[in-house]
Structure 1
Amino acid sequence: MYGKFLALPLIARRALTAGALFFVACVAARLPDTPLCNWIFGLSLVGSFWASGVMVPGIKLALYVFKVALRVKASTW
């Protein structure tokens, strides 16, 4: 099964990984509110964002906004 997974193109592997991690996040959201379930939810959601390719542009945008906000805050009027 692992060999078949590795035989898939990179895009398909990333899509399957993102889908599986998002499914785990949805299941963990329905579990009781415990620290372990919260960690599972958070890590699988971050992993699905990373696997789908949304995380890197989001981090770049957040860092740009943070840099602009610091520049505005530190500037003298």
Structure 2
Amino acid sequence: MTEQPTSQVMEAMFEGALWHKSTYSGINNGCIEHAVLASGRHAVRDTKDRALGAHTFGRDQWRAFVTAVCDGSI
């Protein structure tokens, strides 16, 4: 079992991140936000509930995800 990062670690990880809302945002704020972190990792969070934190992905994981979305395989 892995330890969950503390809130201080999470805050430091996302400090200075420039979040961008999806261009596919819905009327009811039903969308996600994306940021590239200082570490080079990519982060995704729910616009409606930012306090829940974000999922982070390495560069290769992010590229594979975006490719799969673009080619319709997911």
What TM-score do the two structures reach when normalised by structure 1? 0.28
Higher relative contact order (CA 8 A, sep 6+): 1
Higher helix share: 1
In proportion to residue count, which structure has more strand? 2
- TM-score, normalising length: structure 2: 0.29
Larger radius of gyration: 1
